[in-house]
Amino acid sequence: MSDKYYRNTVLDVNLKAIEKNYRAVQGINPEKTLIAVVKANAYGLGAKAVSEHLAEAGASFFAVATLDEAIDLRMHGIKQKILVLGTISPEHINKAIQHRIAVTAPNLEWLKEAKSEVNDRHDKAVWIHIKVNTGMNRYGTSDLREIETMINEINSFSRFIYEGIFSHFTSSDEDNDITAAEFNLFKDIVNQVERPEYVHISNSGGALTLKEDFTTAVRSGIALYGYYPSEYTKAETAVKLNPGVRLSTEITAVHHLEPGDSVSYGRKYTAKTKETVATLPIGYADGLLRQHNGYKVKLEGGADCEIVGTICMDALMIKVPEQTNAQEKVIIIDDQENSDQSMESYSNYTGTISYESLCSFGRRIPRRYTGKDIELIYNEVIN
């Protein structure tokens, strides 16, 4: 963890808010294990800091998408259970064994290959979660006979432990009957086979809205970071989430334009009257898309200011009141729920969702962790 950064564009990650969200999601199903999904660098917020904080707050189980992400967590001292949700290459099963990582078995063929690859370098057993396909058609199988055979294969091999069976909802953030149908298909399959310790299907959408006492665990990512999977989920749940992120910067330059003066590449924006524009040191290389042209950011404690002209790789210009000065603070995304600079407003503006906005924040933006006794900085650029 580097404490050095020399840039005034910063992503504040509120660890206290994330901890509160963790407790709120756990509170809906106190008897189930809450699997904290920290894939994709904890949705861009920093897997190490987020996982460490959640582990201190009591999280006992993490999930990631790839084996590399799981090993990275181990390298950073995360001792808790980690499940790789994606499919690892069978020949990498020994790496999972070495690092004590649970893996997903998507089908019988994968399982047999993985079994044939297990060597004696690390003489431990590996935890396996069988993936059931209930409609995603991404990973997993819905063939009952195949699942039975997989369970037999696992149980008859001393290096495999049958630890879990799970599926994934396609539409838990929408208002329809699909979720119930997928849940019933999963339940029907699981009821016909040996039941392992962890039975799980809900993501945040499911965890926030679905009442059921069949499973023993839920997986949640987006809700931990303080965002609802959709407006529907937000309306349906009683749980109050705390937005975990704030993106801010500082004005680096101010230019006073005469009528006819233009701004940025291609001179696409031209002043009609005397106008003032300010330059912000953030651009598309930081994850703020060129389509954000026209989006309004906020002067701290002041006016909403429109992004004008083509957004550059490292900078953009906004139209500001005449008396605006360099070094004034500007909020691009705030930590409010219903403001013009909320994560939802920022994402809706370019037709995307908070998941994608979070994952798009560039590695170049320092992450500043707030909400703890001491402020921590993670700057990947000069780490």
Ligand X SMILES: *Cc1c(COP(=O)(O)O)cnc(C)c1O
Interface contacts to ligand X, rule CB under 6 A = 37, 39, 85, 168, 203-205, 219-223, 229
CB closer to ligand X out of 168 and 292: 168
Q: How far is the CB of 300 from ligand X (least distance, A)?
A: 30
Active site (annotated) includes residue 265: yes
Query: Which residue has the CB atom at the shortest distance from ligand X?
Result: 221
CB closer to ligand X out of 94 and 172: 172
C-alpha to C-alpha distances, 137 to 118, 178, 234, nearest whole angstrom: 28, 14, 27
CB closer to ligand X out of 139 and 295: 139
Q: How far is the CB of 333 from ligand X (least distance, A)?
A: 18
Q: How far is the CB of 173 from ligand X (least distance, A)?
A: 7
Contact 349, 311 (CB under 8 A): no
Q: How far is the CB of 220 from ligand X (least distance, A)?
A: 5
Cβ neighbour number for residue 83 with a 10 Å cutoff: 25
What's phi and psi for 218, nearest 5 deg?
Answer: -130, 150
DSSP count for the chain of H helices, then E strands:
12, 20
Q: How far is the CB of 329 from ligand X (least distance, A)?
A: 30
Residue 126 structure tokens: 């590996």
Give the C-alpha separation, 273 to 104, whole Å: 61
DSSP code of residue 289:
-
CB closer to ligand X out of 46 and 229: 229
**Exposed, middle or buried: residue 344 (CB in 10 Å: 0-12, 13-18, 19+)?**
buried
DSSP code of residue 102:
B
Active site (annotated) includes residue 39: yes
CB closer to ligand X out of 139 and 349: 139
Catalytic residue from among 39, 81, 131, 298: 39
Q: Across 191-341, where does the E strand assignment appear?
A: 198-200, 217-220, 245-250, 253-257, 262-263, 269-270, 275-280, 296-299, 304-308, 316-320, 329-333
Residues annotated as catalytic (active site), given as ranges: 39, 265
